[in-house]
Amino acid sequence: MKDNIRRHVLACATTLSVVLAGCGGGNGDTAQEGPGAGDVPPLVPMPALTYSQDAAVCAWMAAHVQPFAWPVQAVGPRTWAPATVQTVDTPMRNAQGLAQYRVTSNLLVLQSHYAPQIQAKGLAQSSSQLWAQEAACKYAISVESQTLTNLSYEFTAYMPDSTAARIAQEDYTAGIRQVRKPDPCRPEVVFPGTPLPPECRTGT
């Protein structure tokens, strides 16, 4: 008899809970879980990064990624000397005549700002990739993505000299310099005993 009563009570309780759930619950203060919980808007799926001023990508970045700010609590105050644009006599240039620049930052600084956001939002991109995309959106440049890895802290892009001067003022910029056009007579890396091409020798 007691078992029958107990089963009847449990059945009624289950039915009541289902009814309440269908009506939105019996308590307006019940905590929600999952996407959309509380006042946090659900994360819109991230589009593929283009490392250019792509409208959809830049809109997503503006809505979901905080722009770079020096992570003083993680790394302390900024002590770098102000960056100055370093130029060369024969820079790489594209068809529009823009010089190619290499922008250098610091891996710890980039990760201290972007990694917490990457972890909180469950993103697959690295700190350097978000950094490069942010710069591409802000300055209307196209960043070369081949060298952007989890451990990279540099990017290269063709840009006007005026844009390079503005990027030099960013807190994340440790250095910015033009990329020299490859010259077989002046290789950047020289191995001992390696002769120069015949056309580079004096008198030829």
One digit per residue, the tens of pLDDT, for the chain of length 204 reads 444 444 444 444 444 443 334 444 434 343 333 334 334 445 678 899 999 999 999 999 999 999 999 999 999 999 999 999 999 999 999 999 999 999 999 999 999 999 999 999 999 999 999 999 999 999 999 999 988 988 999 999 999 999 999 999 999 999 999 999 987 676 666 667 677 777 786 654
Q: Nearest-CA neighbor of 54 among 156, 131, 141, 154? A: 141
Query: Can you give the pTM of this predicted structure?
Result: 0.72
Report the alpha-carbon angle 98-150-113, nearest 5. 85
Instruction: Please give the C-alpha separations between residue 122 and each of 2, 69, 117, 125, 149, in angstroms, as whole numbers.
Output: 51, 21, 8, 9, 17
